[in-house]
Amino acid sequence: MNNHVLKVEGLKKHFPVRRGFFEKVIGWVKAVDGVDFEIAEGKTLGLVGESGCGKSTVGRLILKLLDPDGGTIHYKGKDISALSRKDLKELRKEMQIIFQDPFGSLNPRMTIGRTIEEGLRTLGIKDRDERNTRVQELLERVGISGASADRYPHEFSGGQRQRIGIARALSVEPHLLICDEPVSALDVSIQAQIINLLKELQQNLGLSYLFISHDLNVVGYLSDTVAVMYLGHIMEYAPSEKLFDHPLHPYTLALLSSVPGRDKPKGLETRELRGDVPTPFNPPPGCKFQGRCPLAEERCRQGEIEFYRVSRQHRVRCWKVI
Amino acid sequence: MTKFQPHSESSSEAPPAPRRTQGQEFWRLFKKNRLALAGLAIFLIFFIIAVAGLSVTSGTRPYFDPALVRLPEKLRPPLSRPNLEVLIPGEMPPLGMYVFGTDDLGRDVFSRMLQGAWVSLTVGFVAVGIAVFVGILLGGIAGYYGQTSITINHIFLFCLMLGGASAFAFGSLFPGVILLIAAIAFLYRSARSGKPAKPSLALAWLQKGATSVDTLIMRFVDIMLCFPSFFLILTVVALLPASIYNIMIVIGLTSWMGTTRFVRAEFLSLREQDFVTAAKALGVGDRRIIFRHMIPNAVAPVLVSATIGIAGAILTEAGLSFLGFGVPPPYATWGNILSDGKRFIFDAPWLTFIPGFAILIVVLSFNLFGEGLRDILNPKLRERY
C-alpha cells in the first residue's frame, strides 16, 4: 500500500475565538479535530458532510493555505506539514484547487487567459508565445474555445467559468486536485458536464481527486472511497460501494435516508435528522454526533469515541454498530 | 448512480455573451447619467481653462498679467472699457476690456482668476494624490498584513531608532550614534536568528504580541479623525512657512483617513475571495496578488472618494486663503481674491461673487461627477439590462 499520493494523519485545525478589548482567547472552534485518510494514485476520495463540518478547511490545510495545528500530511511519502517557503513553491505545482463559486473564483478584472497564465509563470515558462499556446491548449482541453482567452469572466456562464477554473488548476500540471464543491453551485445539466469532464481528465492525466461535496449522489458517482465528516471528525470511512450499500454509522444512515429518490438502506427505518448542526465552539465531550443521534447513550457522552476498523478498508467512529 | 449520462455534444454550452469590454460598459452607463456627464464636461472645461490660464499668466511678460497694478483704474465693474487716457500702452487689458472688472489695486480680475484656476487645480489634485497614496499604502497594509502581530521587540526597536534619530537631529551626536548602533545591532541579531529558537525565559516577554498591525493603523486613523481637520490644518499652516506646496501637503496629509478605511475594508473582503485563494494556491507572490488581483478590484470606491476629495481640497484651500493662511500674496487664488474683495462687497460685489461662483461650480461639478461614478461602479445600484 505504498501508492498513496496523500496520507493525512490526525490532522487538526483549531481557530481561536477572541472577545473583548484585549482580544482574549475565550475558546476554540475545532474545525478539524483529528482527521485521517489517504488518497491512492489516480483515485478519488469523496469527503461528505453538512455545511460547517470542516470539509473545506481540510482542503485548505492540505494545500497549505492554512497551517495545521496538529497531525501530519504526507504527499508522495514526504512530510509537507512543516515546509519552508521555497519547498512550498514546488508543492504548488503538485496540487491545485477548484472552487465552489464560479463567480468568485475568477478575478473580474483579468482576462481568463491572464488568469490561467499565472500558473504557467509558476511553472517558470518565460517565453510569452509559449505561454499563450499553452493557455489555448488548456482552454481547449476543458472545452472552451482557445480564441476566447482575451475575454473577461463576466462574459461566460457559470459552467464555462467552472471550466476555466479547472483549466487554471491544470495549468501547473498537478497530480492532486482538491475539488471544493465544484458542482454545488451549478444547474443539474451543467453539473453532469463538469463531472464528466473531471472523470475524463482523471483518466487522461492520471489525476487524484479529493472531492469535497455535500451531495451524496455526486460523491457516490465519482468517488472510489468516501469519508463522512461531522463537526471536524470523520465518522465513517469506506470504499464507495460499501458505504452506500452497508452504511454503519447512524449519521451516514441519516444522510443516506435524507437523499430524495434514493433507495433507503435495507432494514432501517427512515431516520430524519432533527435540528441543526451544533456549533463547533466548545463542544461537549464524547461523540460529536451525540446531540442528534437516535442511538445515543450514556457511554457516548464520555470520552472520545475510537475509530473502529470494521474491515480492512471500512472504519467507523461508533461503538454501537460493531 | 446512473444519474450522470455521458454527454455527447462538445462541451461549450452556450455562445459567450456579446462582446463588451468593461470600458464600453462603463461609458454606456455613464452616458445615461446626465448630471455626472455635466460634471465631467465642466471639469474638462475647468481643466482646459486652468492649463491655458497657467500658460498665459506666467513668464516674465505674460499676456494676461495678474500682478499688473493700474491704480487709476481700480474697482472698475465687469465688461467696462479701460480709460485710455490714463494707461500707458503696456497696461492695456488684453481683450480690450476688463472682462471680470478690476480690484482695489486696479488688477485685472480675469487674469487673476485664470491664475487662481491653476492653483485650485493643482492643490486639488496634488493634495488628493497624497491622500490616496497614503490611504492605499496604510489601508493595504492594514487589510493584507493586518493580522501580523507587533511584538514588544518591535516597539523597543522602534523607540530605540526614534530616540537615536531625534538625538542625532537635535545635535547631540554621541548618544544619537550610540542609540542607532544599538538599534542596528538589535535588528541584526533578530534578523539572524530568523525563527526565534525558544528565547530564554527572561527574554520571552519580548516576543509577546502587544497588538496587531491592523489595530495600530486603524487606531491611528481614529486619532487623526478626532481632530477637526480644518483647525488642524490652520495650526500646521501657522507653524510652517506659507507656500503653495506646504498647503498641498498639509491638506493631503490630513485627508487620507477615509481612503485608508475604504481600502482596508476592500482588502479584507477581497482577501477572502476565491480568486485570491486560487492565486495563492498557484504560488503567486504577495506583491503580484496585491498589485494585480486586489488593487484593481479595490480602486472603484477609492476613485469615487478621490473625486469628491478634490472638491473638498479646493474648498479647503479657498477657505484657508480666505482666512489669510493660504497661498501667499504674489499668487492669486480664488480664495484670496474672495478675501480681498469682501471689504468692497457693496461697492464692487463682482470681486466676491465671481470667485465664489467659480468655486461653487467647480466643486459642484466634482461632486456630481464623483456621485455619478459611485452609482456606475456600484453593481447593486446599477440597473439591469
Please write the tens of the pLDDT for every residue from B252-283.
Answer: 998 899 999 989 999 999 988 899 999 988 88
Checking if the pLDDT of B144 tops 80, the result is yes
Q: What percent of chain A has pLDDT over 90?
A: 22
Distance from the Cα of A227 to chain B's closest Cα (Å) equals: 18
How far is residue B18's CA from residue B14's CA, in Å, rounded to a whole number? 11
Checking if the pLDDT of A151 tops 50, the result is yes
Ramachandran region, residue A181 (left: φ > 0; alpha: ψ -120 to 50; beta: rest): left
Region of poorest pLDDT, from A148-152, A272-276, B193-197, B232-236:
B193-197
Look at residue A289 in the predicted model and tell me its pLDDT: 82
Chain-wide mean pLDDT for chain A? 85
Q: With bands split at pLDDT 50, 70 and 90, how would you rate the model's confidence at B139?
A: very high
pLDDT one-digit tens code per residue, A250-266: 888 888 887 776 665 55
pLDDT one-digit tens code per residue, A66-121: 888 888 898 888 888 777 777 788 888 889 999 988 888 998 888 899 999 988 98
Burial (CB < 10 A; 0-12, 13-18, 19+), residue A277, is middle
Helices and strands, number each (H, E), in chain A: 9, 12
Contact A196 B1 (CB under 8 A): no
Distance from the Cα of A96 to chain B's closest Cα (Å) equals: 6
Contact B1 A217 (CB under 8 A): yes
Distance from the Cα of B102 to chain A's closest Cα (Å) equals: 53
Mean pLDDT across B353-358: 91
Q: Which residue of B1, B7, B9, B13 to mutate against A (max A Cβ within 10 Å)?
A: B13
Between CA B94 and CA B320, with CA B347 as vertex, the angle to 5 degrees is: 75
How far is residue A227's CA from residue A95's CA, in Å, rounded to a whole number? 20
Q: Classify residue A311 by its DSSP letter.
A: S
Look at residue B9 in the predicted model and tell me its pLDDT: 40
Q: Does B275 touch chain A (CB under 8 A)?
A: yes
Look at residue B193 in the predicted model and tell me its pLDDT: 54
Across the interface, of A105, A152, A221, the residue whose CB is closest to B1 is A221
Q: How many residues does chain A have?
A: 322
Contact A192 B4 (CB under 8 A): yes
In chain A, residues with a C-beta closer than 8 Å to the C-beta of B273 are 104
Checking if the pLDDT of A220 tops 70, the result is yes
Q: Does B287 touch chain A (CB under 8 A)?
A: no
Look at residue B381 in the predicted model and tell me its pLDDT: 57
Query: Between these two residues, B325 and B187, which has the higher pLDDT value?
Result: B325
Look at residue B42 in the predicted model and tell me its pLDDT: 92
Segments in B15-65 forming alpha helices (H): 22-32, 34-57
Look at residue A166 in the predicted model and tell me its pLDDT: 93
Look at residue A255 in the predicted model and tell me its pLDDT: 84
Look at residue A266 in the predicted model and tell me its pLDDT: 55
Look at residue A265 in the predicted model and tell me its pLDDT: 56
- Candidates B87, B129, B67; CA nearest to B259 is B129
Q: What are phi and psi of A46, to 5 degrees?
A: -95, 135
Instruction: Give the count of alpha carbons within 13 A of B151, CB side only.
Output: 9
CATH topology for the B39-147+212-382 domain:
MetI-like fold (1.10.3720)
Q: With bands split at pLDDT 50, 70 and 90, how would you rate the model's confidence at B8?
A: very low
Q: Does B281 touch chain A (CB under 8 A)?
A: yes
Contact B12 A143 (CB under 8 A): yes
Ramachandran region, residue A10 (left: φ > 0; alpha: ψ -120 to 50; beta: rest): left
pLDDT one-digit tens code per residue, B66-103: 888 888 887 888 888 888 787 777 777 777 788 888 88
Look at residue B385 in the predicted model and tell me its pLDDT: 42
**Could you give the C-alpha distances from A2 to A40, A63, A175, A312, in angstroms and in order?**
9, 21, 16, 16
Across the interface, of A115, A156, A196, the residue whose CB is closest to B4 is A196
Chain-wide mean pLDDT for chain B? 81
Which amino acid is it at A1?
A: M
What is the model's pTM? 0.80
Region of poorest pLDDT, from A22-26, A251-255, B240-244:
A22-26
Mean pLDDT across B152-164: 79
Contact B274 A104 (CB under 8 A): yes
Q: Does B10 touch chain A (CB under 8 A)?
A: yes
How far is residue B344's CA from residue B350's CA, in Å, rounded to a whole number? 9
Mean pLDDT across B140-151: 84
- Candidates B214, B339, B366, B7; CA nearest to A191 is B7
Beta strands per DSSP E along chain B:
149-151, 209-212
Query: Between these two residues, A279 and A211, which has the higher pLDDT value?
Result: A211
Closest CA in chain A for residue B5: A192
Residues 176-195 of A with CB under 8 A from B: 190-193, 195
Closest CA in chain A for residue B15: A156
Contact B282 A118 (CB under 8 A): yes
Q: Does B19 touch chain A (CB under 8 A)?
A: yes
Q: Does A202 touch chain B (CB under 8 A)?
A: no
Contact B275 A105 (CB under 8 A): yes
Q: Where are the domains of chain B?
A: 39-147+212-382, 148-211
Q: How is residue B301 written as a grid cell? A: 470606491
C-beta of residue B51 within 8 angstroms of C-beta of residue B323 = no
Which amino acid is it at A105?
A: S
Give, rounded to a whole angstrom, the gap between the first and last alpha carbons of chain B.
41
Which amino acid is it at A26?
A: I
Contact A152 B1 (CB under 8 A): no
Q: Does A203 touch chain B (CB under 8 A)?
A: no
Checking if the pLDDT of A269 tops 70, the result is no
Q: Which residue of B1, B5, B8, B11 to mutate against A (max A Cβ within 10 Å)?
A: B11
Q: What is the CA radius of gyration of chain B?
A: 29
How far is residue B58's CA from residue B41's CA, in Å, rounded to a whole number? 26
Closest CA in chain B for residue A63: B281
Checking if the pLDDT of B196 tops 90, the result is no
Q: Which residue of A109, A115, A122 to mutate against B (max B Cβ within 10 Å)?
A: A109
How far is residue A105's CA from residue A107's CA, in Å, rounded to a whole number? 7
Contact A92 B21 (CB under 8 A): no
Helix (H) or strand (E) holding A197: helix A188-205
Output the 3-class SS for B117-181.
HHHHHHHHHHHHHHHHHHHHHHHHHHHHCCCCEEEHHHHHHHHHHHHHHHHHHCCCHHHHHHHHH
Query: Between these two residues, B283 and B205, which has the higher pLDDT value?
Result: B283
pLDDT one-digit tens code per residue, B17-54: 555 566 777 788 788 888 889 999 998 999 999 998 88
Distance from the Cα of A32 to chain B's closest Cα (Å) equals: 19
Region of poorest pLDDT, from A245-249, A280-284, B3-7, B244-248:
B3-7
C-beta of residue B366 within 8 angstroms of C-beta of residue B39 = yes
